[in-house]
A and B are shown apart, each in its own frame.
Chain A
Amino acid sequence: MTEYNPYLLIAVFLLAAAGFAVSPLLLAYLWAKLFSPKKPGPDKNAVYECGLQSKGDAWVQFRSEYYLYGIIFLIFDVETIFLLPFAVAFTSLPVGAFIAMMVFLLLLVEGLVWAWRKGILTWQ
């Protein structure tokens, strides 16, 4: 018997899977190219598709500073999620858990202080 690589089978399967996925797309593409004439128009190419007239372009700029608001939201969000169980179980917690929680809070508050001093919390 000749030398046979077990990984060859995987390669064959990979090719078959890719072909299975790509061939319908390719057929649809070819069909559209060969038989279906393109019919673009101002309404069809419009950005918005709710029946109302589209205004402007889809390629608008978003303010990149938005990510800072996202991060600050995350501080409060994570804090809330962990603070509630912490408060519920507070009376039966050992000292170690309390200190760990305080360190965690300190890290979050540190982030908040950093953001505050950077002036992010003042609305521009």
Chain B
Amino acid sequence: MDEGLRNELSKQGIFTTKLADLYNWGRKNSVWPLQFGLACCAIEMIATSMARYDLARFGAEVFRPSPRQADLMIVAGTVTKKMAPQVVRLFNQMPEPKYVIAMGACAISGGPFKQGYNVLKGIDRYIPVDVHIPGCPPRPEALLHAFMTLQAKIDAQSLTGPDRPRHLNADAPSEFPVPQFGAHDLEPPNNPEVWHPPTIVRQG
């Protein structure tokens, strides 16, 4: 059905939709986050879920204390190297489809602790991150924007084809290798299948 006919029908009070659109609409409005905070960003995450910012408007107020019931992992805060294996394991235990929002400078890059010996320089080294939010910490509005970005991402997915959602794709891995504590660093230091660092292009 083309857009013009749909417009014409909606003027007459007839609403038409596609099954895929309806499915994605349901999916994007019922994303349950994992109740999981690592540092100060978690305070902003809590504020987002409370009355003033009200994450419930987006159908995501049900913070689940168990990864078995969660769809979205908000990595809110500094991921230390001690904590990284636990974060990956929690992500592995979430059922499909699952999404990750890396919240704050620490979660996306190590932030102010990037030069430190004990902080992971971005959780996207081990798990696939859908939305990155910069900020130290990001305000609740930024988390809401990230959430809306994730919703737009879910909405744009088609149910078939190469960009179909993870839970309909048998090839998309559900578990990612959990890093081990090595002598000096986590081993492996990153998961090359997940981590695609941008290449720096120097001018002049």
Residues of A whose CB lies within 8 Å of any CB of B are 35-37, 39-44, 46, 49-53
Contact = CB atoms under 8 A, between A and B. Distances in A.
Given A35-B168, A41-B175, A42-B175, A51 B96 contact: no
Nearest to B164: A35
Interface string B152-177: 00000000000000011110011100
Given A36-B96, A36-B168, 15 more contacts: A35-B168, A36-B167, A37-B169, A40-B174, A42-B175, A43-B89, A44-B92, A44-B93, A44-B174, A44-B175, A46-B93, A49-B66, A49-B90, A51-B87, A52-B86
Interface in B63-100: 66-68, 86-87, 89-90, 92-93, 95-96
B42 interface: no
Contacts of B167: 36
Nearest to B172: A39
Nearest 3 interchain pairs by C-beta: A51-B86, A39-B174, A43-B92
Interface string B173-187: 111001000000000
16 contacts: A35-B168, A36-B167, A37-B170, A39-B96, A41-B92, A42-B175, A43-B92, A44-B93, A44-B174, A44-B175, A46-B93, A49-B66, A50-B90, A51-B89, A52-B86, A52-B89
Interface of B: 66-68, 86-87, 89-90, 92-93, 95-96, 167-170, 173-175, 178
A59 to B, nearest CB: 18
Given A35-B168, A36-B167, A53 B175 contact: no
Contacts of B93: 43-44, 46, 49
Nearest to B171: A37
Most buried by A among B87, B93, B167, B175: B93
A41 to B, nearest CB: 4
A83 to B, nearest CB: 39
Contacts of A41: 92, 174-175
A43 B175 contact: yes
Contacts of A49: 66-68, 90, 93
